[in-house]
């Protein structure tokens, strides 16, 4: 895995938070919701970069550049496929697991979202899709993105 490729700056909140540490911050405290999730706040001390708290939040990464931080829904409408996922989510995992120039294989590529994510992350791609209608849409999407990034 290439964690550094997907980590983000820890953020301004860290400075005041780490200024006043208590004893509790140095032991693992378990969530009061019985979820069994726990955390040791001191693990974040001196960290400059961390995983994003939500991989559907992106800053200036979308190829139609947003002005500032944006949040993507987990489902997309108007993209001519009932189970399509956000391009940035694909890019995020592609960056985490591959390096520039690698080939990404998606055996169920639908309308080509993985190919688009691979293109944005400078990877090559191979996509397999059963339905001609989705293949057509994937080819259209790939051509459109090629125009935008070339």
Ligand X SMILES: C[S@@+](CC[C@H](N)C(=O)[O-])C[C@H]1O[C@@H](n2cnc3c(N)ncnc32)[C@H](O)[C@@H]1O
Q: Which residues bind ligand X (CB under 6 A)?
A: 81, 83-85, 108, 110-111, 113, 128-131, 134
Of 21 and 131, which has the nearer Cβ to ligand X?
131
Residue pointed to by tokens 């938070």:
17
Of 98 and 113, which has the nearer Cβ to ligand X?
113
- Least Å distance, CB 13 to ligand X, is 33
Return the residue nearest ligand X (CB atom). Answer: 110
Of 8 and 130, which has the nearer Cβ to ligand X?
130
Query: First-to-last CA distance in the chain?
Result: 28
Residue 75, Cα to own-chain centre: how many angstroms? 14
DSSP state of 123: -
Contact between 101 and 122 under an 8 Å Cβ cutoff? The reply is: yes
């Amino acid at each position: 895995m290439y964690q550094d490729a997907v980590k983000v700056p820890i953020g301004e909140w860290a400075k005041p938070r780490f200024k006043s540490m208590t004893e509790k911050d140095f032991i693992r405290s378990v969530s009061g919701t019985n979820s069994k999730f726990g955390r040791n706040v001191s693990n974040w001390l001196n960290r400059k970069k961390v995983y994003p708290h939500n991989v559907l939040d992106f800053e200036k990464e979308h190829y139609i550049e947003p002005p500032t931080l944006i949040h993507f829904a987990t489902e997309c409408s108007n993209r001519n496929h009932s189970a399509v996922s956000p391009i940035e989510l694909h890019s995020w995992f592609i960056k985490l697991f591959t390096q520039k120039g690698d080939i990404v294989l998606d055996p169920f590529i639908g309308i080509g979202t993985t190919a688009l994510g691979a293109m944005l992350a400078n990877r090559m791609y191979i996509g397999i899709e059963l339905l001609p209608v989705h293949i057509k849409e994937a080819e259209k999407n790939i051509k459109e993105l090629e125009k935008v990034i070339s």
